[in-house]
Chain A
Amino acid sequence: MYDMNKQETAVTQKEIKFSARDVQVYYGDAHAIKDVSVELEDKTVTAFIGPSGCGKSSFLRCLNRMNDTIDICRVEGDIKLDGEDIYHKAVDPVQLRARVGMVFQKPNPFPKSIYDNVAYGPRIHGLARTKADLDEIVEKALRRGAIWDEVKDRLSAPGTGLSGGQQQRLCIARAVATEPEVLLMDEPCSALDPIATAQVEELIDELRKSYSLVIVTHSMQQAARVSQKTAFFHLGSLVEYGETAQIFTNPVDERTESYITGRIG
């Protein structure tokens, strides 16, 4: 299930990574996502923006089937990853989540050492044969998470003892350690101070070279800084989707314009 050749496959043209058609999400009787259809590109940062409660997180969680862990949640429609339906009966959500990593709003390091936090994914997926392999994977992930220099001397210290910004970068390192193809980030900077935010944004830009990224954000400036594509959600619908520059300078829909100019939200 793990594709070692993916670096070679997507070198030139931007491919479609996720393609969603007529997605509906229900929480019990509440209809949270209505008829969303969107195509997300590989090696691109896509930003989801929109007022609170408009369904950004709900849609994001459809992409790695995290909604399955919520009892009352029901997803309908059609979502394809590399052309394969991820809600097909034959697809194991556990394997899907190894390919589609996720970083949460609040940093959630496990109450384990920094090393064990990062090694968690590789261990359960059997990515390392030897201790040396694992050490290498952990170091590489921590470097990609731009936190290696800060923690290399205390890998056995608890991950929960780091500062908020460090914890979030540790969580990003933990997510990239399983070598996912897509990384979903749900407001990854909302609990961080400006300096930590800048570090995470830099990291996102760096990660774009190898992954497809989706980032939910409440900050218009952040969306403009880090993303190439932007999707604007409103009341459970996808209102507008396009190049970030175009959305911010020349939105087509008047709801988009009101939101980015601060009139709704």
Chain B
Amino acid sequence: MPALWLLLILILLGVIGYVVGRARAVRSAGGNVSDLHSLPNHYGSFVALSVVVPALTVMLIWLLAQPLVLNAIVSTDFPVVAIPENASVDLVMSDVRRIAEGLDKAEAQGVLDQSPLNTIADDAGALRGMLAGVGVALGADVTPEVLSASQSYRALAASGQGMMTGLVLLVALVGFAYAIRRTHKEFRARNVVEAGIKTLLIFAASIAILTTIGIVLSLIFNTLHFFRLHPASDFFQGLVWAPSFGGGSELGVLPLLWGTLYISLIALIVAVPVGLFAAIYLSEYATPGVRAFAKPLIEILAGIPTIVYGLFALLTVGPMLMSVFGRDGLGWMQAGTAVITAGLVMGIMLIPFVSSLSDDIINAVPQSLRDGSYALGSTQSETIRQVVLPAALPGIVGAILLAASRAIGETMIVVLGAGAAARLDLNPFEAMTTVTAKIVSQLTGDADFASPEALVAFALGMTLFVITLALNVVALMIVRTYREQYE
């Protein structure tokens, strides 16, 4: 791993720079530290930062850019005739990269046998077998053109690696020399270090922001791409969801949205009263002992992975409901997977979410309001109903909206508990499905990712994103105004 070694060398250089810079600054002040403009540590940090930061930046850019550049060079050299009829340059290039990677691995493991490389024309299968031996499975035998392209890819990559190492070390050394030259007792190292740290933090923040923007943009562009292949009117107004990869699909989002909202509604009907009452009990009635024991216990529910809830829905709650409402009971239910099953289990999942948010919010209601109410001769339940809950209401509404946005985005429970039929129906004992479950089913299996049937996943994702974003924004706005009320 040369990149890792390079990183270690940079760090080492940084440490050396720190020590040398610090010592030089102290020496420039004749050993009298109080003569320095800044603390000795600032001088050390200044040198260390000057060594590491520019070099790391160069390294990062190089690592990001190298594959792109290599791809461009190798693919322009690739003979057009050698591209199979039903494939594109991109596909061939991904083969080239896989083979190059496989050869690297084979070499690293010491199993690289030069013979099949030379006799490729006679024995195409031998190379494929060897690569499979190091864990790189190929879809087809290797053609001579692809092999030579991957060999030149490897050569270029190796020389690129060398150039990068040289350049990065050069930059580090230049930084070192520059920083050491400037290190003097008059130099304002503190200000430079502070500015440097600020820049680093801004950089981290911008990565977070840029990825978000990138994800949203990719959602938007793919959604637009989908709408070029499929009429938007069918997506937004169609009442039928019937994808067929042969073409002629009907991709109406309404049945899916209906399923999502219906299941979420049932989940909230379960979670809000239970969660809220649990929160009221915990924050207003429970003794500290009970609270210390019960609160973590409820919060364990929040740590259960949702797939476990899904199993619980499929294997426990579904059959249980069937025994009451199914053929042997009231006869309302045809199968264990239904809206009610998924809704109930999702409600259970949301209970700790609602209760711990509400608990925090109820606890934030100042004790002085409770005292004021008690002092007027009201009972505990009057105080809670008429003073504490009204004061906490905006925050609780915010908590419920946040819970709703989780319910809408929930996937595993509905995949396992709600069934797969997209249906516009009011009967909670019927199977229905949701936006999230359909995103999963559209992208699993042998889908062609360029077809509208697969791209619809982006449009569905975009729909979900817009809904949950709106819910979150409203919820946060409400919670924030509530917070300000008591500050």
Contacts and interface: CB of A to CB of B under 8 A. Distances in A.
Q: Is the interface of B mostly helix, strand, loop or mixed?
A: helix
Interface stretch (A98-106, A131-139, A220-228, A230-238): A98-106
Interface string A68-82: 010100000000000
Given A94-B378, A98-B376, A178-B376, A108 B368 contact: yes
Given A120-B386, A124-B382, A110 B375 contact: no
A192 interface: no
A110 B377 contact: no
B386 A101 contact: no
B211 interface: no
B390 interface: yes
Contacts of B288: 71
Contacts of B323: none
A71 B366 CA distance: 17
A77 B274 CA distance: 43
A99 B377 CA distance: 8
Contact of A174 (B371, B376, B382, B391): B376
A220 to B, nearest CB: 26
Interface in A97-141: 97-99, 101-102, 104, 106, 108-112, 120-121, 124-125
B233 interface: no
A97 B374 contact: yes
Given A111-B391, A111-B485, A121 B377 contact: yes
Contacts of A102: 371, 375
A66 B374 contact: yes
Contacts of A110: 369, 372-373, 387, 390-391
Interface residues of A, number: 28
A106 B368 contact: yes
Contacts of B370: 69
A108 B387 CA distance: 11
A95 B379 CA distance: 9
Contacts of A175: 375-376
Contact of A124 (B368, B371, B376): B376
Interface in A37-71: 64, 66, 69, 71
A197 interface: no
Contact of B375 (A95, A97, A106, A112): A97
A199 interface: no
Given A111-B391, A111-B485, A160-B485, A94 B371 contact: no
B75 to A, nearest CB: 67
A69 B366 CA distance: 14
Contacts of A94: 377-379
Interface string B370-408: 111111111100100011001100000000000000000
A171 interface: yes
B287 interface: yes
A121 B377 CA distance: 7
30 contacts: A64-B375, A66-B371, A66-B374, A69-B370, A94-B377, A94-B378, A95-B377, A97-B374, A97-B375, A97-B377, A98-B377, A99-B377, A101-B376, A106-B368, A108-B368, A108-B369, A108-B371, A109-B372, A110-B369, A110-B373, A110-B390, A111-B390, A111-B485, A120-B386, A124-B376, A124-B377, A124-B382, A174-B372, A175-B376, A178-B377
Given A112-B390, A178-B376, 12 more contacts: A66-B371, A66-B374, A66-B375, A71-B287, A71-B288, A101-B376, A104-B372, A108-B371, A108-B372, A110-B387, A111-B369, A121-B376
